[in-house]
Amino acid sequence: MSKFKFKKATKTPEVSTASLPDIVFMLLFFFMTVTVMKEDTLKVVNELPNATEIKKLEKKDRVITIYIGKPVDKFQETQGEQAKIQMEDSFVNLSDLGARVLEAVNEKPEHLRAFIAISLKVDKKASMGLIADVKEELRIVNALKINYTTYEGDTSKNLE
């Protein structure tokens, strides 16, 4: 009798899924930390340009955001195809912008009002004409600290 028995065909061992929860948790924590909850519903196309020499916008509580871009498809019938200004959740005319900015400033607590920064989130395909007008309006209401909000990245992508 031979000493070696032929083993029966063994089953392939199952992959242990015990570490699956750990992996999922890791992903979960990643997304939890990078998530910034959207504050406003965008009504304009808002693909920001890239820049490298950027600074972080510190302290969210003293930032007022102005969006500029073409209205999204849904609003093109009523608003036209020209680039529009959006503040909070509504479209703003250029002539009302100053008043709206002052209003937004006055909603901030008093001790922060001197440090208000305007974050301009402008679509990279917008033209400078409207932005020059917006800057002029901001100068009139004395909101001088602005930030051209961008993504971090190579500027050559801005031309596409």
Partner 1 sequence: MARRLEAPEVNAGSMADIAFLLLIFFLVTTSIETDVGLDRMLPRKELIKVPPVIAERNILPVLINGEDQLMVDGDRVELNELKGLTIAFLDNGGASRESDNYCAYCQGNRDMKSSDNPDRAIVSLMSSRQTTYGVYIAVQNELMLAYNSLRDRESQRRYKTDFTFLEAAYSSSETPNILKSEIKEKMRSIQKLYPIKLSEAARQ
The answer for residues whose C-beta is within 8 angstroms of residue 144's C-beta and 6 or more apart is: 138
Give the x-and-dash track for 3-32 against partner 1 (CB under 8 A): --------------x--xx--xx-xx--xx
DSSP string of 17-49, one letter each residue: -TTHHHHHHHHHHHHHHH-----S---B-----
> Closest Cα partner for 157 from 48, 66, 11?
48
How does DSSP classify residue 62? Answer: G
Judge whether 121 and 106 are in contact, CB under 8 Å.
Answer: no
Give the x-and-dash track for 73-102 against partner 1 (CB under 8 A): ------------------------------
Of residues 58 and 73, the one with the C-beta less far from partner 1: 58
Of residues 60 and 113, the one with the C-beta less far from partner 1: 60
Residue 34 is a binding residue for partner 1 (CB under 8 A):
yes
The binding site for partner 1 (CB under 8 A) comprises 17, 20-21, 24-25, 27-28, 31-32, 34-38, 48-58, 60, 117, 119-120, 122-129, 131-132, 135, 138-140, 142-152, 155-156, 158-159
